[in-house]
Amino acid sequence: MHPSPILNPHKKPSHPLTRRHFLKLGGLSSIGFLAALGGPHFGGKIAQAQGQPLPQLSPLKFNTVTVNERGEIIQKVCKEAPYFQEPLGKGLGVNLVQIPGGTFLMGSPPTELERYDSEGPEHFVTLPDFFLSQSSITQAQWQAVMGTNPSTWQQDNLPVENVSWHDAVEFCHRLAQKTGRGYRLPSEAEWEYACRAKSTTPFYFGKKITPDLGNYDEVLMGIHPHQTTPIDRFPANGFGLVDMHGNLWEWCQDLWHDNYEGAPTDGSAWELGGNPEFRMLRGGSWHDLPWYSRAAQRFGKEPDSREAIAGFRIALS
C-alpha cells in the first residue's frame, strides 16, 4: 500500500519516509498483509460491565523500564495493576487490565521528531476507567473464539494477524455473545492514553526505542526476525500492557480523520465525519521503521484489508 494524503497526511517535505518503506508497505500484500466505570481495585467489590458482574480483580505483576537519550535502560520497576481473566475454555483466557481514568494530552507537539501533521493539534482528552486486553489477541485466543487461524506465522503465543477491521469487530461480537459482556475495539483516544500510561515522551519508556524494547524494522539492520514476536518478549508499560510499540498495528474503532480538528474530548470513538473508507490503526509493526511505533503515530487502512502487519486488542467499558 502506498500511503495517500488521506492515509498519512503530512506537509513536511523533509519527513524521511523512504522509498523502501513505500515499497515495503505495497509489497507486503503478496504474503497476505496490512473498566468498569469507577470499578474496584484488586481485593475490592465485584465490578460491573454493561450489567454483567465481573470476576473479582486480581493484581497483575509486571516490570516496566525507563531509558535515557540513547535508549539505554536506566531504571526497572516492578508494578501491579488490577485485572481479570476472561475464560475462553481449556485453560485459556484473555487478561483484561483495568486502565484508570484520567486526562491526557493527545497527539504530538510540532517539535517531535518524525511527526506527521495528522497527529495534531494536541488536545486534552478526559476518559473514564476502562479495561483493555494486556496484549494483542493471540492466535490461540482467536482460534478459541473463531475456530480458525488466518495468521502467516502460526504459533499460539504470537498475535493473530491477517485480520481485517471487520474480522476484529466480529471477534468482539462473538466474545460478547459468549460472555454477556460488551467487548469492542478501543477508541483511538483510549488506545493512545493506554499506550502512554501517563508518559509524555514519543514512547512510554522515553524518547528512543531499541530492539530490546519493541519489534520493529530498521533499514538493513536485521535486528529482528522480520515477523511477529511472542507477546511476552518485551517489557510492559506503566499500565501493564505489552507490545504497544511495534509487533503489529492494532485496529481501533474510529474512522480516519485528517487531523484532530473537532475530535471528541471524552475518549469516545470518532465516527462522525472523516473518511468512511478507512479505519484507524495504531502502534507500528515488525515491518515498519521505528518512528512508526511512536505513541502518537496514526495510520488509516481499508476496513476489509487483511495483512500480516495488522492485529487488534479488545476493550470493555
Instruction: State yes or no: pLDDT of 30 exceeds 60.
Output: no
Look at 186 and 10; give whichever has higher pLDDT.
186
**Residue 44 placed within a domain:** no
**Residue 183 placed within a domain:** yes
**Residue 253 placed within a domain:** yes
CATH of the domain at 147: 3.90.1580.10
pLDDT tens, residue by residue, 115-165: 999 999 999 999 999 999 999 999 999 999 999 999 999 999 999 999 999
pLDDT-derived band at 52, boundaries 50, 70, 90: confident
**Residue 9 placed within a domain:** no
pLDDT tens, residue by residue, 191-207: 999 999 999 999 999 99
Task: Count the helix, strand and coil residues of the chain and give each as a percent rounded to the nearest 5.
Answer: 15, 25, 55
Look at 18 and 79; give whichever has higher pLDDT.
79
Q: What is the DSSP letter of 290?
A: G
* Across 206-223, average pLDDT: 83
| Euclidean distance between CA atoms 182 and 135, whole angstroms | 18
Look at 130 and 50; give whichever has higher pLDDT.
130
Q: Which domain holds residue 198?
A: 19-26+60-89+100-316
Instruction: State yes or no: pLDDT of 228 exceeds 60.
Output: yes
pLDDT-derived band at 32, boundaries 50, 70, 90: very low
pTM for the whole structure? 0.85
- Work out how many domains the chain is built from and give that number: 1
- Residue 146: CB atoms within 10 Å: 17
**Residue 12 placed within a domain:** no
Residue 300 bridge partners (DSSP): 280
Query: So what's the pLDDT on residue 218?
Result: 78
Considering the chain, what percentage of its residues have pLDDT values greater than 70?
82
| Euclidean distance between CA atoms 151 and 263, whole angstroms | 34
Helix axes 165-179, 139-146, angle to 10 degrees: 70
**Residue 147 placed within a domain:** yes
**Residue 271 placed within a domain:** yes
> Minimum mean pLDDT among 41-55, 251-265, 279-293: which range?
41-55
**Residue 39 placed within a domain:** no
Instruction: State yes or no: pLDDT of 291 exceeds 80.
Output: yes
Angle at 306 between CA 191 and CA 178, to 5 degrees: 65
